[in-house]
Each structure stands twice: as structure tokens, then as C-alpha cells.
Amino acid sequence: MSNEPTLGAVYERLVGVSLERVWENVHDWEHLPWLHGLAFSAIELEASGDWGWRAWVRPAAPGDSESLLIDLRRDPDLDVYHTRTLEGPGKGADTVVTLTPESDHSTHVRVEFWLPMAQGEQAQAVGASLVALYTRLWDEDEAMMVRRQQVVDAARVREQSGVPPNVGAISLGQWEGLAGRLPLRVPSEAGDYRVVETEAGFAAHSVLCPHRGGPLDDAEISQGHVVCPWHGYRFALADGRVADGRKCHMRRPPRVERGENGEALLVLSGSSGASMQARSSD
């Protein structure tokens, strides 16, 4: 029997983002168990660098309790990378991805699944299952990359326009009945906020994760923290600090205060609250 790997399947698609955004996503090992929670339940990094990354990855499917040692390695001369299984189920498999820029906002992706098994029905069946898996993974990745590009573009526009930092207070309407209108999205010149109610009272946070712009519009609130669905970063609603020691913090969140005449105010950074002239959030 030949020891050479078998080409089990080929998968191709066009994604609506730049080559730069795709490479950023390829190097982003942290998002696997968060964005792709149906496929992966945990990841433990061994090493990473410009060359790629190597990590132990645990599948999420019932019965798949054995972790895989995955080595993702970028070709230094081509827009190609290999994802090899070094240990665990499928040891010896090599997924080869070729990236070809089609325009400033689109990239062609070609994925070859090389399998450590003889040709035949088994290789075809495994190849078909991998195509189905990668279709879902790339769907999820493309949605993240498109949003990430929108965040990058918006930040560039704000920087070029010279918008000053938010200082002031935004009216949220009457304090009475505020709880019944939450969660509430509140726009501002430098970004939107979400106002929520927790066991400790009313709180607010940015709808953008400061790490890579992940969507916090509907993010989970857990034990006084808002949790990013892209990478699992947890930020304290009280002060914006990340909970696990990673070097990424939110700006200090605004406060929700009761102002004059029973008005609810979202008090932005640098404001003194009730003494400020509030503007409407409408």
C-alpha cells in the first residue's frame, strides 16, 4: 500500500474581502472555538509567528474527545498555507489552501484535502465531509472578515475626519420605564453603545470589541462582563478591563445616571453627569 497521501476532494470559492483580511484571519487561531463553536470546543496554543501557528485543537462533535495537534504553516514565497494534522485522528492529513487576489475586495480560495489513506470510497467520503465542514467554516469566516473590514474602514474615516472624543451626556428618556426598553442601542459620534440591566443595575458598553472589532450588539453578559463572540474576550462593565490578563482593554465605559427631572442619562467619558446639558439619543 502506498504511503503517499490521496487527494480526497477540492473546494473552491470566492470570498468578498481582500487578501490582507484573509491572511489576518488565517493567523487568527484564537477564534476557532468561539466563531466555529459547532466544530471546535477548545484550543491550546503551542507556538505562533509569521510562519503560522501550532496548537492542540479539540473537536466539538459528540464522541470526538481526542484532541488534534494542528500545524498551520505559511509558504514564505507563495500565497499558500498548509494545515497538517501531526497527532490525533486524521494524523498525516494535509489541507493545502491557495489564495489568489481577484480585486481589492475579493479573494479566490482553493482548498485541497490530502488524506493519509488509499484511494477509493473511504477517501471520497472523508473528502465530502471535509468540503461540507469547510463550507460552513468559510461562511462564518467570511462574515467575520467582512464586518472586520467595515470596522477598519469606519475607524479610518473617523481618524481622517478628526472627530473629537465623546464628552457629554446623551438622554435615554425618562428613568421610569427605562428597564422595559432595554437592551438599548445608543448612537454617538465616535461609536455606538449598548445599555443593559444587570444584577448590579444599569450599565453600558461599546458595541465594538476593542480587540478586532467583534460585534457586541447582542453579546452575552456574564457575571458583570460582556463576552465577545469572536474570541471570547471578557470585559468588565465597571471599568472596561479585560478579565483574563490579555493585553486588550475597552475605554472606560459610560455611566447610566438619573438626572434632573427624572431623566436617564448616558454619561460619556469626561462628563460630570447631571450637571451637563444632555442631548437626545433620537
pLDDT on residue 16: 97
pLDDT on residue 161: 74
Confidence of residue 80 (pLDDT cuts 50, 70, 90): very high
Residue 73 placed within a domain: yes
Pair (114, 16) in one structural domain: yes
Mean pLDDT score, 87-100: 96
Pair (122, 21) in one structural domain: yes
CATH number at residue 110: 3.30.530.20
Pair (151, 196) in one structural domain: no
Confidence of residue 260 (pLDDT cuts 50, 70, 90): confident
Residue 1 placed within a domain: no
Confidence of residue 156 (pLDDT cuts 50, 70, 90): confident
Confidence of residue 269 (pLDDT cuts 50, 70, 90): low
Query: Is-contact 83 70, C-beta < 8 A?
Result: yes
Boundaries of domain holding 258:
169-280
Exposed e or buried b per residue across 69-97, where buried means at least 16 C-beta atoms within 10 angstroms of its C-beta? bbbbebeeeeeebbbbbeebebeebbbbb
Pair (131, 187) in one structural domain: no
Q: Based on the structure, what is the number of domains in the chain? A: 2
Q: Which of 87, 207, 226, 89 is nearest to 150 (CA)?
A: 207
* Least confidently predicted of 73-77, 132-136, 250-254: 250-254
Q: Which of 154, 184, 158, 156 is nearest to 171 (CA)?
A: 184
% of the chain residues with pLDDT over 70: 90
Residue 28 placed within a domain: yes
pLDDT on residue 271: 47
CATH number at residue 274: 2.102.10.10
* Segment 228-255, tens digit of pLDDT: 999 999 999 999 999 988 889 998 899 9
Choose the final residue of a domain: 123, 139, 159: 159
Residue 119 placed within a domain: yes
Bridge partners, 112 (sequence order)? 10, 96
Mean pLDDT score, 159-172: 75
Q: How far is CA 50 from the centre of its chain?
A: 20
Pair (12, 130) in one structural domain: yes
